[in-house]
Amino acid sequence: MIAVEDDAQRDAALAAAAQLSASVGDAIGGEWPIRLRLIGPDDAEIPQGIVLVATIADRDGHTSIDDLAQRWSVRVERYRAAGHHRVLLCGPVRQAGQASAAPEDLERLRRLKHLVIAFSRQLGTEVVDGDRLLALCGLRRIAADARGGATATAQLVGHAIVDAILDGDLGDCIEAGVQARARDIHGGVRDIPRLMARRLVPGPQL
């Protein structure tokens, strides 16, 4: 089960679920379905699994960084209290052409990225750095949008999410050997062009 905190992260989460299911399925030689669930701040029950905490909506907001830190802390502690041992904090993603944005917007993005790193160190949250992968693959070329709604963007951010999931502890979900094979099948940065060409063809996403 992957629980998605923000609807804005849905497209990337769907891409990640499809990629993770395909990679593990190929590793075991069969099907490995994954369930996704959108969760909200008022949900009384949080399903067990991996939680994706999105920061996308905070990128262009006017909430102060200090207030965001408090809000994120409450959210992360809530999932910890519910027994989730893996909380993935999805860092903010730039838009294509972001280098020409207003200085205050770039400064906010920089401070948000630093806050994500601080949370990783202080609270043990895992970081999904989709922005780094987008930059490595050419932000302008794929016309990335901040919410990951464009198909290519969603697939790349989804790839970063699966990287984080397969690099961490999956407990009893899959054997260590299977996890290692799935990680190899999923591929690294050098495999992205080949994988994207396959994932972006019309039809079911892989």
The alpha carbon of residue 4 and the mean position of all alpha carbons in its chain are separated, in whole angstroms, by 9
Domain membership of residue 57 (yes or no) is yes
| Structural domain containing residue 20 | 2-199
Domain membership of residue 20 (yes or no) is yes
Domain membership of residue 206 (yes or no) is no
Domain membership of residue 186 (yes or no) is yes
Integer Cα distance of 144 and 125 in angstroms: 25
Give the DSSP H/E element, type plus range, for residue 37. strand 36-38
**Over the stretch 30-84, which tens digit does the pLDDT of each residue have?**
999 988 888 876 676 777 788 888 776 676 667 788 888 888 888 888 888 877 7
Residue 21 has pLDDT above 50, yes or no: yes
CA distances from 13 to 5, 67, 96, 132 (A): 10, 26, 21, 17
Domain membership of residue 204 (yes or no) is no
Domain membership of residue 49 (yes or no) is yes
Token digits of residue 156: 């790349």
This prediction's pTM:
0.82
Give the DSSP H/E element, type plus range, for residue 65. helix 65-81
Helix (H, G, I), strand (E, B) or coil at 152: helix
Confidence of residue 156 (pLDDT cuts 50, 70, 90): confident
Q: What is the CATH number for 118?
A: 3.40.50
CA distances from 149 to 10, 11, 31, 52, 205 (A): 9, 6, 27, 16, 15
**Long-range Cβ contacts of 111-119 (<8 Å, 24+ apart):** 111/65, 112/55, 112/58, 112/59, 112/65, 112/68, 115/65, 115/68, 115/69, 115/72, 116/55, 116/89, 116/91, 116/92, 118/69, 119/69, 119/72, 119/73, 119/76, 119/89
Q: Write down the pLDDT at residue 206.
A: 37
Domain membership of residue 43 (yes or no) is yes
The alpha-carbon radius of gyration of the chain (Å, integer) is 17
Q: Write down the pLDDT at residue 74.
A: 85
Helix (H, G, I), strand (E, B) or coil at 175: coil
Q: For the chain, how many structural domains are there in total?
A: 1
Domain membership of residue 205 (yes or no) is no
